[in-house]
Every structure is written in C-alpha cells, then in structure tokens.
Amino acid sequence: MSARVVDALGTWCPVPIYLIDRAARGAGAGEVIELLADDPLIEVDLPAWCHRSGNALLELRRDGDAYIGRVEITRPAGGGDGPPRDPFPGRSATG
C-alpha cells in the first residue's frame, strides 16, 4: 500500500503541520502519510505534532535540501479517548 503524499515544499511553519493535520483528519487508522517539506523547523515540529496528536512518527530523514517524514495514523479522526495530550503539561502559553 502506498502512502498518501502531502507536499509542503516551499512553505514555512506552521503550514507543513497544518497540511499534515488536515490530511490526518481525513485518514483512517493504519494509513501512512508522507510529508515532504523543506522548512528546517520540521525536525522539531513533526515529532511534536505526532506526540500531541497521538500518531506514530515512522521516519524523518533529510533528502538533499528537503525532509521526508512518514507518519502512521493511529488515532481515528475526530475520535479516540478525548483531546490530544499536552506535550508540555504544567506550562502555559505565556511561559
């Protein structure tokens, strides 16, 4: 089975995460989404999004000037056992 590809090349934070989040909402559990991005912040943003959303980061690698991330959707879109966990509990948005 091939992965759904989300092309975020040429975009900057937060667009790549917005695009993969939107694709994940339309995906079923077990589907794999491949994200193409060239924003270096994806090295931090994609693992954080996976942690927050409850999905599994299978791979994140550099390919020339771009990054390829593969994510397995492990939580049903709009379902699950409540909202995603806060990756930084006890910290507020203001510090």
Which residues have a catalytic role annotated?
A: 13
The answer to whether the CB of 36 falls within 8 A of the CB of 9 is yes
User: Which alpha helices (DSSP H) does 1-95 contain, by range?
Assistant: 15-25, 42-53
Identity of the residue numbered 68: I
